[in-house]
């Protein structure tokens, strides 16, 4: 019988590619692993220094450090698990974060060269690891699967305990923008940051504190689990503290859940300037982020979910306290950046959060509605308008205004004010409709009640049109401010043909006339065929519209083009008019025709009064007129302003609309830096 060959398993240094170089994606994640090791080493403080000139990152802690034996047996032993040899808490009573012994490899994700200096019990050690040399060892299989780091001198070491790690030749430097951005990300990855935990992290000499997470001050409503006084003290914008939660569901899950779920005041507060998505529920285990976002598990579509943020600490997801114990159970994936989704505890946690989110949704809708009403009533004119309504209608108006606060808005107040104005007007329409339903109950002896309702309709119509006019004036004023020699053509061409009210306030809407427009285009083509290349270049655009019962042809000349009226009348204007008239006669239509020439420069005849008068007479003969670019917006503005000035004397809601425009409470004020 043949002897069986010796069997052996070989662990290749290629694991560094998978568990180190390719495992982590950004600098904060790597530094978090080093900070976690310092926590496990009972350090009181960790100092991170970033040299922008050299690109070097130095991390130093005052923990217990390592002896040469510790370096070989623990640090250089890939996969070494501290909890196997030292189960339970550290000497300072801390619950260790490390578990799988691969976090030390994370440095290879961002650095080509890593120097380690460490001191323990007065014994100093220093060595260098280089990714390129490790890869060479893997390829050549030198040292039978063993890589030997370069020993460094220790003469320059001055610290008496702890470990210093230097990361050189940094890759992905773009992931670190500023020290503040790094402090923010480190603060968000640990729940043990803060004085009550006896652990401090410094970045470029400045301590990382819980407020560096930069979202507590944006929280509006919060649901807390366990003692969260430290968090509550940081939430300066809370409207209500500890709104009711579902403690029974948490108890039934038999999970120990600590932390909070909250909603912010505005969606924009969750758009982090450094690229982080704060619309998330982060899961922490043993003080360190174990899963950056659990909210994505729920595919929640409710509006409230876009305002949601949370931090939940669930240590039950890592019960491992050493081999052979009853609590040998860790739900983390190998990457240590997610939780195993099939784990029973994770499923229970997901069920608890799903229930909490549904509860939060119901409460959020009520709270936001009340808050919306409160903000609306801060405007005295709005409050007075509501108080004038009859009691049953008043309650409906308050609820109606409150609902606006449940609509997702991303701006800093302008859109909110606009929506409030429209809400007031819309409610007036609703109120009138309710009154119209009462008309059926009005008898011959109470005609005055009907007349009162008709009067309210007239009043509302005036208010609605007055608001439209006011908004049009703002459009005109904005265009006037922006128009210059370079932008003039583009602005006029874009707006004029679709907004004929700029030419004439009576031209409110262009009527659908696609078939007629096709025929008019043929007239344009016939005229173009007889024009010179220079004349064609002088034209910016030409269009046909039917509006207010008129057939209107508008020709835009380039601002710098100077024309002669007596030259273009027989070649263009006369042919436009006669062609249009012939087409209408064939359809037995007597509709009026108007031709508008939009010019940037006065015609040549304007220099001579004896030529200007007959030129104007010729234009009138073909129902044509000239409008100048400089006069266009000003004339439109004046036409609407006069109307608005008259209506301001009688509009019942004009003061309410103006007050909303002028109102700028703290809730709407844009924040510094946004």
Residue 143 is predicted with a pLDDT of 47
Q: Coil, helix or strand for 25?
A: coil
Q: Is 280 a residue whose pLDDT tops 90?
A: yes
Most trustworthy range by pLDDT among 34-48, 156-170, 450-464:
34-48
DSSP state of 656: H
Q: Is 4 a residue whose pLDDT tops 80?
A: no
Strand partners, 594: 552
**Summary mean pLDDT of the chain:** 77
Average pLDDT (63-92) is 80
Average pLDDT (582-610) is 89
Distance CA 126, CA 118 (A): 6
DSSP state of 671: P
Residue 128 is predicted with a pLDDT of 92
Average pLDDT (511-539) is 74
Choose between 70 and 26: higher pLDDT. Answer: 70
For residue 145, give Cα distances in angstroms to 6, 106, 172, 374, 509: 19, 20, 29, 70, 81
Q: Is 162 a residue whose pLDDT tops 90?
A: yes
Beta strands in 549-649 (DSSP E): 550-557, 593-599, 624-628
Residue 227 is predicted with a pLDDT of 85
Q: Is 73 a residue whose pLDDT tops 70?
A: yes
Residues 6+ apart with CB under 8 A from 625: 594, 595, 596, 597, 619
Calculate the CA dihedral of residues 448, 449, 455, 457 and round it to 10 degrees. Answer: -150
Domains and CATH numbers, the chain: 11-209 (3.30.565.10), 215-361 (no CATH), 378-482+632-674 (no CATH), 485-622 (no CATH)
Q: Is 166 a residue whose pLDDT tops 90?
A: yes
- Ranking 433-442, 598-607, 627-636 by mean pLDDT, the lowest is 433-442
Per-residue pLDDT band for 336 (boundaries 50, 70, 90) equals: low
Q: Is 21 a residue whose pLDDT tops 70?
A: no
Choose between 624 and 477: higher pLDDT. Answer: 624
Q: Coil, helix or strand for 262?
A: strand
Residue 442 is predicted with a pLDDT of 47
Residue 404 tokens, joined: 């606006």
Distance CA 80, CA 76 (A): 8
Residue 244 is predicted with a pLDDT of 57
Average pLDDT (560-569) is 86
CB 217 within 8 A of CB 250: no
Average pLDDT (294-307) is 85
Per-residue pLDDT band for 434 (boundaries 50, 70, 90) equals: low
Closest CA to 165 of 125, 204, 116: 116
Distance CA 458, CA 603 (A): 45
Distance CA 403, CA 212 (A): 33
For residue 377, give Cα distances in angstroms to 123, 372, 381, 384: 71, 9, 8, 9
Q: Is 177 a residue whose pLDDT tops 70?
A: no
Residue 672 is predicted with a pLDDT of 41
Average pLDDT (455-463) is 54
Per-residue pLDDT band for 342 (boundaries 50, 70, 90) equals: confident
Residue 447 is predicted with a pLDDT of 47
Distance CA 608, CA 602 (A): 11
Residue with tokens 């081999």: 323
For the stretch 181-221, pLDDT in tens is 899 999 999 999 877 889 999 999 999 999 999 999 999 99
Percent of the chain with pLDDT over 70: 68
Choose between 219 and 410: higher pLDDT. Answer: 219
The residue count for the chain? 674
Most trustworthy range by pLDDT among 71-80, 186-195, 396-405:
186-195
Cβ neighbourhood burial of 266 (10 Å; 0-12, 13-18, 19+): buried
Q: Is 671 a residue whose pLDDT tops 50?
A: no
- Ranking 75-79, 318-322, 446-450 by mean pLDDT, the lowest is 446-450
* Distance from chain centroid for Cα 218: 14
Q: Is 163 a residue whose pLDDT tops 90?
A: yes
Calculate the CA dihedral of residues 73, 77, 83, 87 and round it to 10 degrees. Answer: -10
Residue 187 is predicted with a pLDDT of 94
Residue 114 is predicted with a pLDDT of 93
Closest CA to 20 of 161, 144, 178, 147: 147
Per-residue pLDDT band for 617 (boundaries 50, 70, 90) equals: very high
Q: Is 581 a residue whose pLDDT tops 50?
A: yes
Choose between 548 and 10: higher pLDDT. Answer: 548
| pTM for the full predicted model | 0.64
Choose between 241 and 295: higher pLDDT. Answer: 295
Per-residue pLDDT band for 312 (boundaries 50, 70, 90) equals: very high
- Ranking 363-377, 394-408, 588-602 by mean pLDDT, the lowest is 394-408
22 Rama class: left (phi>0) / alpha (psi -120 to 50) / beta: alpha
Residue 407 is predicted with a pLDDT of 65
Residues 6+ apart with CB under 8 A from 191: 259, 284, 287, 288, 311, 313
Q: Coil, helix or strand for 217?
A: helix
Q: Give me the helices (H) in 221-379, please.
A: 229-234, 247-253, 344-377
Closest CA to 37 of 118, 129, 146: 118
Residue 7 is predicted with a pLDDT of 47
Distance CA 567, CA 510 (A): 30
Q: Is 669 a residue whose pLDDT tops 50?
A: no
Strand 123-130 relative to strand 111-120, pairing: antiparallel
For the stretch 478-516, pLDDT in tens is 666 655 555 556 666 666 666 676 677 666 555 555 666
Average pLDDT (224-250) is 77
Closest CA to 111 of 176, 185, 178: 176
Closest CA to 221 of 281, 266, 264, 279: 264
Average pLDDT (230-241) is 83
């Amino acid at each position: 019988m043949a002897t069986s060959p010796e069997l052996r398993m070989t662990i290749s240094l290629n694991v560094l590619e998978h568990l180190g170089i390719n495992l982590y994606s950004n600098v904060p994640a790597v530094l978090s692993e080093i900070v976690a090791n310092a926590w496990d080493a009972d350090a009181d403080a960790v100092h991170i220094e970033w040299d922008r000139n050299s690109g070097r990152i130095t991390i130093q802690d005052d923990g217990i450090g390592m002896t040469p034996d510790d370096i070989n047996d623990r640090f250089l032993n890939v996969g070494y698990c501290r909890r196997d040899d030292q189960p339970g808490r550290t000497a300072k009573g801390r619950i260790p974060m490390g578990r799988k012994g691969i976090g030390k490899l994370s440095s290879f994700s961002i650095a080509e060269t890593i120097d380690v200096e460490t001191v323990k019990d007065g014994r100093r050690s220093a060595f260098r690891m280089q990714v390129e040399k490790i890869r060479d060892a893997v390829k050549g299989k030198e040292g039978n699967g063993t890589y030997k780091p370069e020993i460094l001198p220790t003469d320059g070491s001055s610290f008496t305990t702890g470990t210093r790690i230097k990361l050189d030749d940094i890759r992905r430097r773009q992931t670190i923008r500023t020290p503040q951005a790094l402090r923010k990300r480190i603060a968000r990855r640990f729940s043990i940051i803060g004085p009550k935990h006896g652990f401090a992290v410094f970045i470029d000499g400045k301590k990382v504190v819980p407020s560096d997470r930069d979202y507590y001050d944006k929280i509006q409503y919060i649901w807390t689990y366990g003692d969260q006084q430290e968090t509550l003290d940081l939430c300066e914008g809370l409207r209500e503290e500890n709104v009711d939660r579902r403690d029974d569901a948490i108890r039934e899950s038999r999970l120990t859940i600590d932390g909070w779920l909250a909603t912010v005041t505005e969606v924009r507060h969750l758009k982090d300037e450094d690229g982080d998505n704060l619309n998330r529920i982060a899961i922490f285990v043993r003080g360190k982020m174990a899963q950056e976002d659990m909210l994505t598990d729920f595919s929640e579509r409710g509006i409230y979910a876009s305002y949601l943020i949370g931090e939940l600490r669930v240590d039950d997801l890592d019960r491992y306290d050493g081999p052979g114990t009853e609590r040998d159970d860790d739900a983390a994936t190998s990457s240590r950046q997610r939780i195993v989704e099939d784990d029973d505890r994770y499923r229970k946690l997901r069920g608890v959060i799903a229930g909490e989110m549904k509860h939060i949704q119901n409460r959020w809708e009520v709270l936001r509605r009340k808050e919306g009403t409160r903000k609306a009533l801060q405007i005295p004119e709005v409050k007075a308008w509501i108080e004038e309504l009859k009691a049953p209608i008043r309650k409906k108006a308050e609820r109606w205004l409150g609902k606006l606060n449940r609509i997702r808005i991303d701006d800093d107040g302008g859109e909110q004010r606009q929506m409030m104005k429209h809400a007031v007007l819309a409610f007036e329409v609703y109120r009138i409709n309710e009154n119209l339903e009462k008309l059926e109950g009005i008898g011959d002896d109470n005609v005055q009640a009907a007349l009162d309702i008709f009067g309210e309709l007239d009043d509302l119509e005036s208010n609605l049109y007055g608001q439209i006019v006011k908004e049009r004036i703002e459009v005109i004023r904005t265009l006037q401010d922006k128009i210059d020699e370079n932008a003039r053509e583009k602005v006029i061409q874009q707006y004029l043909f679709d907004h004929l009210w700029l030419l004439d306030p009576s031209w409110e809407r262009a009527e659908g006339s696609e078939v007629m427009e096709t025929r008019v285009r043929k007239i344009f083509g016939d005229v173009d065929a007889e024009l010179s290349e220079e004349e064609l270049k002088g034209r910016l655009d030409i269009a046909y519209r039917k509006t207010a019962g008129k057939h209107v042809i508008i020709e835009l000349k380039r601002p710098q083009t100077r024309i002669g009226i007596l030259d273009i009348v027989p070649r263009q204007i006369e042919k436009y008019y006669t062609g249009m008239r012939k087409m209408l006669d064939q359809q037995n239509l007597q509709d009026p025709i108007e031709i508008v020439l939009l010019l940037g420069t006065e015609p040549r005849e304007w220099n001579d009064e004896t030529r200007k008068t007959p030129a104007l007479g010729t234009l009138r003969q073909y129902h044509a007129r000239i409008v100048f670019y400089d006069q266009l917006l000003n004339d439109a503005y004046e036409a609407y302003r006069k109307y608005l000035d008259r209506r301001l004397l009688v509009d019942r809601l004009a003061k309410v609309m103006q007050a909303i425009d002028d109102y700028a409470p703290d809730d709407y004020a844009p924040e510094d830096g946004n």
